[in-house]
Chains A and B, each alone.
Chain A
Amino acid sequence: MQLRDPAHLVSPRAIVFWTVRAVPGWLLLLAGQSLWFVVTQDHVALRVAALTLTVVCAAAHLIVMPHWRYRVHRWEVTDNAVYTQSGWLTQERRITPISRVQTVDTERGPLEQIFGLANVTVTTASAAGPLRIHGLDRTVADGLVAHLTEVTSRSEGDAT
């Protein structure tokens, strides 16, 4: 018995977004290593090796990770349940019944606004189980929130 993937992909613009978001971390590391070059003179071979390794890892990460993520990040909302899939090296699928949904939030960071993207977070009464959909197109996210709000308001109980 296997689960299929959720039906919908996120916005293709998320690929660029994830790439851009990952750049500063690598730049910081490269800056640190450049500083090492400036400050000291010895261990040249070691420093060159470290720098090369960093550049290679950064390139691989920046090329592979966003596309991999794009293939993994998926979502689906039915009348009964919310189903999400996220991650790349470590992947996680989360499913919760609509009747257990407590809040639906949408959130846009500054970088996401530039790319016209939005996150949707669906929380339940469990601290272990918020469902997050990253990198949705803004209009899709707004529509999804409206839909979820409407569907969840129909179900009763305190969702615990």
Chain B
Amino acid sequence: MTVAGTQRDESWRRLSPRMLLVHPVRELGRYIPALVGLVVAGRSVGDGELWWLGPVGVVMVVALSVLRWATTRYRITPEQVQLRTGLLQRKTVATPTDRVRTVDITASPLHRLMGLARVDIGTGSHGSGAGGGSGSGLLLDSLSVGEAAALRAELLHRSVGPPFDGAVGPSLGEPGAVPFDAVSEADVPAVGEMDTELARLDPRWVRFAPFTMSGVLGAAAILGVAWNLLDQLNVTPTDVGPVRGFVDHLQRTPIWLDVTQGLIAILVAVTVISIGGYVLSYWGFRLSRHSHGSLHVTRGLLTTRATSIEERRLRGVELGEPLLLRAVHAARLSGITTGLTSKRSADGGSSLLLPPAPLVVARAVATQILRDPAPVEIPLTAHGPAARRRRFLRALLPAFLLVVAAGAAIWSGAPLWLGLAAVLTIPVAAMLAADRYRSLGHALSGGALVTQQGSLGRRRDVLECDGIIGWNLRQTFFQRRAGLSTLTATTAAGRQGYAVTDVPVSMAVSLGNHALPGLLGDFLEPEAPEVGALNGPGSRT
């Protein structure tokens, strides 16, 4: 198995044996309903002679997870990372090491107790990765913290880093004795390596949490689960004492008081949940740049997460300024990374570079990452009156339709306040349209395409021109009539395509031509203003 001349250990390695403690516990938790069912079934059939069903179920689950550990192996050769799983149906997933784009190390509280960490190796292949993959790439669940960090260093810095001595066996201390931030401790740079800190969580940033949507989503999720649970347990909410009292209280008090109380209660719940979510996801957040050319993000209160992104895979950043965050001068930052599709997970997933933080901090961090302040500071080119008309038309048309519908409803007997509410949507829509136009714009700066759009979810995308692999110039029927188009720069990174919306056609073509010189040259219409020059010397009198 070993290639002569290398010191690498290329033999198959197992996951950490400590997984034997984690896995069965987790699997048992997952199968609790089935196991309870087995126990109950065993007791109730006949005279209970099937009592052994329950224990056998437990043993089976434990045996299966032991088997999974015993049959899972991985190895790293100079060319490939390979993961082999399965007993009867053997499966080998292999991925070329030079295709490794990101390495994510996560550790749930149970993992941390055992000094373990999950390693998620992202390769950026589209579609679902096979077997042990987690969407795209390989998932090693789990290695000891030390092994995980060493593996990450090996995979990301293989071109320059020291060879990986496979015998990383010696684990860091006893299980359970691993320090809180073991994931980052294990990352202590060796001699000659530098780890520059770019940002660190300021606890005061937690004040931005209520201005994100996470609280609303979290509250909705909790409510949904609670409702489902009550439904499953056949409990009618009004039968529960406190709820009963609450409903009685509502019925005794006037409706405006109910509404006010309800709003305050929702507001408080959303605030508490969003702050909790922020702390859970981003506590201990730290962004640093490694001298080998990678960015490291570590974060998380209970489940810790360490993400490494190779800088040469980083094609730009997205500066997200949703309306509420903008109102308190805050923004969040995520990376545009080749092979790392921006999945919209609540906490930003692996592409997160900065949680909701003051706008000045977000801009400063973006500047440090891009090594150029221009793309985030530069004033953008507006898209002109046609684009403005289109913003207003698209916002006002639904509002007017709403008014018409409300009018029809009132005519057929609906209360009058419905019409008032519908009319009120018009100024709101107009303000939205004005803000959407103000936000709309693009620029070329420092070899990067900058595009910004949106109001409720305003986003400024900075995409290196080197990362652009094509143009889509799209015109709907109405855009053609308005002389506008949507120019999308396609890329292998992040969202796969970054759009410059409703830009005049000539501006779009000129932008594309400047961003990627040469590509559009063959397909340009001969310039109309130069007709005079084409007439030749004879006509110039």
Contact = CB atoms under 8 A, between A and B. Distances in A.
Contact of B474 (A2, A91, A124): A91
Contacts of A43: none
Interface string B466-481: 0001111111110010
Contacts of A4: 523-525
A97 B470 contact: yes
Given A91-B480, A126-B491, A127-B341, A96 B523 contact: no
Given A1-B506, A128-B490, A83 B469 contact: no
B510 interface: yes
Contacts of A107: none
A129 B470 contact: yes
Nearest to B490: A129
Contacts of B495: 128
A129 B469 contact: yes
Nearest to A126: B490
Contacts of B470: 94-97, 100, 124, 126, 129, 131
Contacts of B518: 80
Residue picked from B126, B480, B490, B510, most chain A C-beta under 10 Å: B490
Contacts of A96: 469-471, 490
Q: Is the interface of B mostly helix, strand, loop or mixed?
A: mixed
Contacts of B488: 128-129
Interface in A1-60: 1-4, 6
Interface in B330-351: 338-339, 341
Given A126-B497, A127-B496, A160-B492, A100 B469 contact: yes
Given A3-B509, A124-B490, A92 B472 contact: yes
Contacts, number: 109
Given A100-B469, A128-B488, A129-B497, A3 B523 contact: yes
A129 to B, nearest CB: 3
Nearest to B521: A80
Interface residues of A, number: 29
B530 to A, nearest CB: 12
A125 B520 CA distance: 19
A94 B523 contact: no
Interface string B184-218: 00000000000000000000000000000000000
Contacts of B509: 1-3
A1 B490 contact: no
Given A4-B524, A81-B519, A90 B496 contact: no
A100 B520 CA distance: 14
A159 B124 CA distance: 13
B525 A3 contact: yes
Nearest to A131: B470
B341 A90 contact: no
Contacts of B381: none
Contacts of B524: 1-4
B49 interface: no
Residue picked from B471, B475, B523, B525, most chain A C-beta under 10 Å: B523
A96 B474 CA distance: 14
B522 A78 contact: yes
B473 A97 contact: no
Given A90-B475, A95-B471, A96-B470, A6 B523 contact: yes
Nearest to A96: B470
A93 interface: yes
A92 B475 contact: yes
B503 interface: no
Nearest to B528: A2
15 contacts: A76-B523, A83-B522, A93-B474, A94-B471, A95-B470, A95-B519, A95-B520, A100-B470, A126-B491, A126-B497, A127-B496, A128-B497, A129-B469, A131-B470, A160-B492
Given A89-B476, A97-B470, A126-B497, 14 more contacts: A2-B525, A6-B523, A90-B476, A91-B480, A95-B470, A97-B469, A97-B519, A100-B470, A124-B470, A125-B338, A126-B491, A128-B472, A128-B491, A159-B469
